[in-house]
Amino acid sequence: MAWLRLSGADAATPPQSAALLAYVSDYGLLSSALVPHATSPFSRPMQIASLDHAMWFHADVAEGSWLLYATTSSWTGHGRGQATGKLFTQDGVLAAQTVQEGLLRLTPSAPAQPFTPHLP
């Protein structure tokens, strides 16, 4: 679980707030599918990619309000995982729900490579 607030969303319209929620709902959702394996993207080099992501909106979010993002995973295996998330307002109203399936794979150990941007 994590608390979040949409910074700078004070003047956002309800559709804009929903778009921001959809964006932030992707962050960290698949990490809950790694819990049964006692690992995280921060403890081991992982390749994580979204395969699909669906979201349902149930209530408008008040400007600048805090939301509790509760995530869980119902299944993980064969290099994939499925995770669900619920976003609650401070007073316990379910504002949105999301489901995501993703790729979860260990990456081979390799020496760190310096980042070199490719400029036109």
Asked if the structure places residue 36 within a domain, the reply is yes
Asked if the structure places residue 28 within a domain, the reply is yes
Q: What pLDDT, on the 0 to 100 scale, is given for residue 97?
A: 97
**Most confident region among 25-29, 57-61, 93-97, 112-116 by mean pLDDT:** 93-97
Q: How far apart are the first and last CA of the chain?
A: 42
Q: Residue 59 belongs to what domain range? A: 2-106
The one catalytic residue in 26, 60, 65, 97 is 26
The one catalytic residue in 16, 50, 74, 90 is 50
Asked if the structure places residue 102 within a domain, the reply is yes
Active site residue 50: yes
* Model confidence, pTM: 0.79
The one catalytic residue in 17, 25, 32, 100 is 100
Closest CA to 36 of 79, 86, 73: 73
CATH number at residue 38: 3.10.129.10
Asked if the structure places residue 118 within a domain, the reply is no
